[in-house]
Amino acid sequence: MALIYRDTRMSDVIVHEPSVIPVINRFGINLGTGDYSVAEICGNHGLDCDFVLVILNTFINDGYFPEDTLLGFRTSEIIGYLIKTYNYYRNYQMPNIRRHFSLLLKSSGESNASLDAMFKFYQELEHDIETRIGHDLNDLFPAISAMEADGSGIVIPEAESDSIIEDKLGDLKSMFIKHLSGSYDLNLCYAVIVAIITLEKDMRQNNRIRDRILLPIGRSLQHKS
């Protein structure tokens, strides 16, 4: 999709890219946007339109990533968005995968060893995602916020690379495509695959903001303290 601008109608964005629905939900924007532009919607919700535009364009266009622009936003804005994203993973995306996966297993009986192995792999992957979220919420975000607030000389805690989680999501997707065998419900299988692909894309775009914007800001603050 072409870049989104202030005068782009929000409904056009959603029609062309329905995958942005959970993204705008994180800003408190729901469906029923009428013919209002992005700027008008943001104004009605008290949002920074420039920040919303950058997030939407980053999510939709893989080649779009205005680091200089993002570095100009307040750290609290970036952290606030990431927290809402993590809450969405925890409350909606991961439970959605788990629910459909469980139904898929149940409908396949006890004879599908490939599905059993994939579900076990997903459970381990979900644990990895929860660990990463916990690290950011409890350690990374508070450390960066403290440095920005009062210049505290806090060491930014390290964590395992995000790319490992992204790779595992890709591996799980490949397992379904290449190694799934036995009898299974086609509709439920499709629902699981789509949910995995959606989470994979969401995390990849989210991690670009985390790793290429928030972490450099944190390290810059660390060097100044």
Report the pLDDT value the prediction gives residue 207, as an integer from 0 to 100: 87
Taking residues 75-97, report their average pLDDT. Answer: 94
Same-domain pairing of 113 and 79: yes
What percent of the chain stands above pLDDT 90? 61
Taking residues 43-70, report their average pLDDT. Answer: 90
Same-domain pairing of 170 and 204: yes
Cα gap 52→200, rounded to integer Å: 21
Same-domain pairing of 57 and 109: no
Report the pLDDT value the prediction gives residue 154, as an integer from 0 to 100: 62
40: number of CA atoms within 13 Å, CB side? 10
Same-domain pairing of 156 and 57: no
Same-domain pairing of 59 and 82: no
Between the CA atoms of 82, 83, 86 and 88, what dihedral angle is there, to the nearest 10 degrees?
A: -100
Cα gap 164→192, rounded to integer Å: 21
Q: Token digits for 172?
A: 């799980």
User: Residue 166 belongs to what domain range?
Assistant: 74-224
Report the pLDDT value the prediction gives residue 158, as an integer from 0 to 100: 62
Same-domain pairing of 85 and 126: yes
| Phi then psi dihedrals of residue 64, to 5 deg | -100, 120
Report the pLDDT value the prediction gives residue 131, as an integer from 0 to 100: 94
Report the pLDDT value the prediction gives residue 182, as an integer from 0 to 100: 82
Per-residue pLDDT tens digits for 90-143: 999 999 999 999 999 998 876 788 899 999 999 999 999 999 999 999 988 998
Same-domain pairing of 94 and 171: yes
Checking if the pLDDT of 58 tops 70, the result is yes
Q: Token digits for 129?
A: 């995602």
Report the pLDDT value the prediction gives residue 133, as an integer from 0 to 100: 95
Per-residue pLDDT tens digits for 154-211: 666 565 556 789 899 999 999 999 988 888 899 999 999 999 999 998 998 888 888 8
Same-domain pairing of 190 and 85: yes
- Domain count along the chain: 2
Average pLDDT, the chain: 89
